[in-house]
Structure 1
Amino acid sequence: MSHPAATPASALAAGIDDRIARRNVAILACAQALGGASASIVISTGPLIGAALLGPDKSLATLPVSFMVLGTAIGMLPAGMLMRRFGRRTSFLGSSIGGTVTALLAALAVLAGHFWLFTLACGAMGFVTAFVQQFRFAAADTASDAFRPRAISWVMAGGILAGVIGPQTVILTRDLLAPILFAGTYVALAGLSFLAFLVLWFLQAPPPVARAAQGVARPLSEIMRQPAFLVAATCGIVSYALMSLVMTATPLAMIGCGLSTTDAALAIQWHVLAMFGPSFFTGALIARFGVRTIVVTGLALLCGCGIISLSGQDVAHFWVALILLGLGWNFGFIGATTMLTACYRPAERTMVQSANDFLVFGFVAFASFSSGSLLHNFGWGTVNVLIFPVTALCLAAMLALGRTQRSDRTV
């Protein structure tokens, strides 16, 4: 019996078989659940490990999370180049092994008490996450037009499972290598990455198909000067950066209020579920109510998170606030991404998407880095108060864009 990877490219190109696509979706959804767990594990434990290793000054405690986000941003372009050169299957397998190695490096750093080594390991895990972000696109490669939306959605369901697997791994393994807290968690994460490797071994992915660009691509600077691009990018940056700012500080804030690491891990779990759960119907809501309405709803939910966070500091306040934060991110970021698609031509797609993602994850890294310092120096209240002026900026930008477009239609 031939190996899945050995299937001739001509057989795949001759006709798309949704039996292959369904099989790939199941594989990629499982790999998403396993490989995607690293983000929630680093978010749940990174600030706590950083605080333990740094001593009295906790201002850099969230740096491991910042490095993970920065690693994801840096890894996006190389991931695309590697997949074009070697194909998705080989690249995914290599990244899974990389995830295993970097998780073991993080465990070693925790055991040895080296903050900077742990931070660099988290950055490397972020680089691996850039490949995990491509799973949903891989699901579409062998799918028919009719099945493609469901294929993408089902792989995204793996993100929901990752949001459960990650925090539960933290809870079950935090004392595995006691008395060093969380060292065992990263050994377990290495095991999850290796399981993802075993699952991805059976992926049947075709080689990338070159397509001629349609039309003439404008300079990137010209595209980015468009009011529609500026507003879409701003809303995407604000939605993601505010989510990162509050989420990264939450575990430290919860521990500082006398709550347990289990409470903090479960808070992150519910937050991740709220982030990805609505994805199955967010597109339908955009189609029904319009993209601007959904973006505004997302910004309102982010403000709701700030209001709940400022009204109390018990478990229920943290959990409800993080659920609203996840929902706000989902509506705001997916809505902003939809707005972005109207800003470019087919020939400009890759260039504009890469520029937008680089901006988004660059600001997200800055937000997660600033989060620990803001919390340490100014308190939990200040972290949440920042939500309101930033969301007001987005609302003002959207209002101005709407007026400009209405004016243009009347000319």
Structure 2
Amino acid sequence: MKNRTKRADTHSALVQSYVSSLEKQQQLYKRTLIVVVLSQIFGGAGLAAGITVGALIAQNMLGTDSVTGLPTALFTLGSAGAALLVGRLSQHYGRRSGLAAGFLIGGAGAIGVVLSALTNNIYLLFVSLLIYGAGSATNLQARYAGADLATNKQRAKAISVAMVSTTLGAVAGPNLVGVMGGVAESIGIPSLAGPFLLAAAAYILAGLILLAFLRPDPLLIAKAINEQKAASQSNKERQSTRLTLNKRGVFAGAAVMILTQFVMTAIMTMTPIHMGHHGHSLQAVGLVIGFHIGAMFLPSLVTGYLVDKIGRVKMAIGSAVTLLVTGILAASGSGESMAMLVISLILLGLGWNFGLISGTAMIVDATSPSNRAKTQGSVDVGIALSGALGGGLSGVIVAQSSYAALSIFGGLLALLLIPIVIRASIDRKKTSSQLDTSKKTI
């Protein structure tokens, strides 16, 4: 009992030392970013290596193409459920516990996939893919961890650093598919399960890195800082006004990310089909999608700087305009033109990048540490489901009309972001003015 009390007192003193020192807060912010980057490199490898061959394993087990889309659907569904779980765990126990649990669960799912390949058990495969989706959700939510202790002018940069580091692993993962296939065969495991061996190791390593090094927990420190500030604020009207402002900000940030995810997934999903109809090879499809994925993540550092420098609203509007231009180019270009396809998919990735980083920054701005992780988890559920819906509806739209119609529809849908973020910006300025007036009268 005495030891437990002593540990609690030591922890309380440690937390207080960060609460009372801006210098220590910035040191922890920088250290947190380094830990997040390391975990995201492994997390990205786990995500990309596994998802590359999931559909092929299902095809081999059942001997038909009819269910090759099911692994992606299960993966997405698992990702949505895990986003909520990781968000709730992080809210109650801190980023360290929530993110580490998510990666370790994802690693367990990858091991399950390997076992399903060994036993040729399709039911175990489907359950394992559902669990494996936790790694994807955690990969996405880790971008928030670096922003917990960031200042207003550092938040988008912190988010973008996490996204760029994910790219390193995501690029390496697919390139190791052949190598891991050979490793798997050498130990008596089907070659297609090889990438899931890498995914399991990568996710588990990412989880262990977070468990070992994400100390003190940035979200718990941010909560303590926020509680100290709140102790000096007792005016109910000001608190109520802030709550209203936060709800509007969360809605705007969520709308930006959900709509951009829907548009991006819908157009990206049907582009390989569109290219196949115009005689392009699988190598050409891979090249176009490779450029697209690069544009989704590689510009993040520049995007983060711009979001912090010129503002969230302007970059969200930039996302909408970029996606509109994408839709117009994809619809008007010839399906035979590789150059036009590459340009369209690069712009599609760039528009998504603008939307995700500006929307994420809006969410962080509009939440406090007391409700941030829970809110972020709920929003990421919406993002995952939006992507699944976009991918599912895209085929229906193209079947009933054309790829051009899908592209135009996506571009026009993205324009809805403009009135949403402008309205949120006007409300924010109005509420800030009310807060200033309230402060002067107290």
TM-score bucket (shorter structure): 0.7 to 0.9
1:122/1:92 Cα in 2 relative to 1: closer, same or farther (>3 Å)?
same
In the TM superposition, 1:116-265 aligns within 5 A as: 116-141=123-148, 150-177=157-184, 180-200=190-210, 201-206=212-217, 208=220, 209=223, 211=226, 215-216=239-240, 235-248=256-269, 259-260=281-282
1:128/1:397 Cα in 2 relative to 1: closer, same or farther (>3 Å)?
closer
Give the counterpart of 2:79 among 72, 79, 100.
Answer: 72
Taking the aligned partners of 1:160 and 1:32, their CA distance within structure 2 comes to 9
Give the counterpart of 1:360 among 380, 383, 389.
Answer: 383
Task: Name the structure 1 match of 2:336.
Answer: 312
2:240 aligns to what SS in structure 1? coil
1:172-226 residue CA offsets vs partner (Å, 9 max, x unmatched): 3345445945211111111212332343322323361254576228999x998x8
Are the equivalent residues in 1 in contact too, given 2:78–2:132 (CA < 8 A)?
Answer: yes
Task: Name the structure 1 match of 2:322.
Answer: 298
2:197 partner letter: V
Taking the aligned partners of 1:144 and 1:319, their CA distance within structure 2 comes to 37
Considering fraction of residues, name the structure with more helix. 2
Task: Name the structure 2 match of 1:22.
Answer: 30
1:363 partner letter: S
1:56/1:137 Cα in 2 relative to 1: closer, same or farther (>3 Å)?
closer
1:121-152 residue CA offsets vs partner (Å, 9 max, x unmatched): 22212223333333233224455677665444
Moved more, 203-212 or 303-312: 303-312
2:412 partner letter: A
Whichever of the two has the greater Rg, that structure is: 2
Task: Name the structure 1 match of 2:351.
Answer: 328
Give the alignment's Cα RMSD to 1 decimal: 4.5
Task: Name the structure 1 match of 2:54.
Answer: 46
Moved more, 183-192 or 167-176: 167-176
Are the equivalent residues in 2 in contact too, given 1:73–1:362 (CA < 8 A)?
Answer: yes
- CA shift, 1:333, in A, is 3.9
Taking the aligned partners of 1:176 and 1:384, their CA distance within structure 2 comes to 43
Give the counterpart of 1:274 among 295, 312, 327.
Answer: 295
1:145-175 residue CA offsets vs partner (Å, 9 max, x unmatched): 7766544433332122133122223343345
1:69-109 residue CA offsets vs partner (Å, 9 max, x unmatched): 22222222321221233332233333333222211112223
Taking the aligned partners of 1:279 and 1:405, their CA distance within structure 2 comes to 23
1:106/1:265 Cα in 2 relative to 1: closer, same or farther (>3 Å)?
farther
1:219/1:98 Cα in 2 relative to 1: closer, same or farther (>3 Å)?
same
Task: Name the structure 2 match of 1:389.
Answer: 409
1:222-268 residue CA offsets vs partner (Å, 9 max, x unmatched): 998x8x988875553332123223444566777896845x7766655
1:189/1:230 Cα in 2 relative to 1: closer, same or farther (>3 Å)?
closer
1:151/1:230 Cα in 2 relative to 1: closer, same or farther (>3 Å)?
closer
TM-score, normalising length from structure 1? 0.74
1:127/1:309 Cα in 2 relative to 1: closer, same or farther (>3 Å)?
farther
- CA shift, 1:50, in A, is 4.0
Q: Which runs of 5+ in 2 are unaligned?
A: 1-9, 231-237, 430-442
1:194 partner letter: I
1:345-380 residue CA offsets vs partner (Å, 9 max, x unmatched): 869877765554433322212233456x659x949x
Q: Which runs of 5+ in 1 are unaligned?
A: none
Task: Name the structure 1 match of 2:439.
Answer: none
Are the equivalent residues in 2 in contact too, given 1:299–1:332 (CA < 8 A)?
Answer: no
2:336 partner letter: G
Identity %, equivalent residues? 26
1:291/1:139 Cα in 2 relative to 1: closer, same or farther (>3 Å)?
closer
- CA shift, 1:32, in A, is 0.5
1:370/1:147 Cα in 2 relative to 1: closer, same or farther (>3 Å)?
closer
1:128 aligns to what SS in structure 2? helix
1:113/1:30 Cα in 2 relative to 1: closer, same or farther (>3 Å)?
same
1:166 partner letter: G
Are the equivalent residues in 2 in contact too, given 1:40–1:268 (CA < 8 A)?
Answer: no
Taking the aligned partners of 1:405 and 1:14, their CA distance within structure 2 comes to 32
TM-score, normalising length from structure 2? 0.70
